[in-house]
Each structure stands twice: as C-alpha cells, then as structure tokens.
Amino acid sequence: MSTGKEDGEVSCLTVIGDQRLVKRSDLRLRPGAYAVICRFEKGEILLIRGKYNGLFSLPGGGTHRGEKLLETLQREVLEETGLTVEPGDYLGVKEAFFYFDPERQAYQVFAHIWECATTTTDITAGDIDEGKAEWVDVFSLKEDDCSGFTYEVFVEFWQKHRLWKYRPAATE
C-alpha cells in the first residue's frame, strides 16, 4: 500500500522485505531506468539476486544528476551485468516506495522500463553492492521470488511475448 496515514506517511518496502512507515517529507525522488533482457530460445530472463534479501529485481537503477534515462539504462546494466544493451520497446513506468536500510534513506522511485537486446549473453560483472546478475528460468519464477515491481513487469512481458511458447517439451 503506497499511501499511509493522515499524518503524511507512506509505507516503504525495505531491502529485507519488511514495510516501514516514512514521513513523506523524508522521501527522495529517484527517477531510474531498468531493463528486461530475455533469452527467448532458452526461456530465461536476466535478473539481479538481491544481496540483502535474495529476491530478484530487474537490472537498472537511479539516474545521476544530468544523466539521460537511456544513458542510465546502459550504464546500470553494464555495471551490474557486464552487458552492453540496445534499448528497444519502452514498456512503461512503475512507481514504488522503498527504504534502503544501509543508507537509512527512503525513496519514491519512478522506474522507466525498456525491453533490451544484447550482442552477448555472457555475464561478466562480478558481485555488485546490491547483488549478483543471473539468468533465471522464466517457467520457475514466482511472485515470492521477486522484489518490488519486478514480477508485475515480468508478467506483462510474459503476456506481450507469449513466453509460454518457449517452454521446453517434456521429456519422458
């Protein structure tokens, strides 16, 4: 629930998955750019496994001052995965409230999301501050495996591309 009590508080998701009430005046606005990268032939999506909670999120992050969103997208994906991406379809924007415990800071995030293509799928970035990149089987991903808006975006992407077409045939 994003709206809080009458006294001007909002509920923010913490990095460990709890809810924390924060004064609206303490929120920092955080525009960001995130990528949906899929290996259709293998039925896999590239996600970041959170260092603090073990949950998956999309590769991406917040803009630096003066940085354009597509620059943010390419920089963040490169930092987190080692992959160079080519932005494709704009999938929309998601709003989220989160509290980043290590910094004791609350954010109101406006996450702009693009479908992206890569020239290679070899993850070359090591562990990052927030987690580790990995290819995840789209047929085993569950809502409880994901943080924030990640699963919602995944379902929309699943429906757009009818990912069930890529399910491997059952072997006997």
- Domain positions in the chain are 31-92+111-165
pLDDT at 131: 87
**CATH ID of 31-92+111-165, from 3.40.50.2300, 3.90.79.10, 3.30.450.20, 1.10.490.10:** 3.90.79.10
Amino acid, res. 133: A
Tens-digit pLDDT profile for residues 75-129: 999 999 999 999 999 999 999 999 998 899 999 999 999 999 998 889 987 656 7
Q: Give the list of residues 6+ apart from residue 9 with CB closer than 8 angstroms, or none.
A: 21, 22, 23, 24
pLDDT at 170: 54
Give the number of other CB atoms < 10 A from CB of residue 170.
5
Q: For 139-143, which contacts have Cβ atoms below 8 Å and span 24 or more sequence positions?
A: 139/43, 139/167, 141/45, 141/56
- Token digits of residue 45: 């999506």
pLDDT at 35: 98
Q: Distance between CA atoms of 94 and 33, rounded to whole angstroms?
A: 10
Could you tell me the pTM of the whole model? Answer: 0.88
Could you give the percent of the chain with pLDDT greater than 70? 88
From the list 36, 43, 5, the residue with the least C-alpha distance to 21 is 5
Tens-digit pLDDT profile for residues 15-57: 888 899 999 999 999 999 999 999 988 889 999 999 888 999 9
- Token digits of residue 142: 């569950």
Start-to-end CA distance of the chain, whole Å, equals: 45
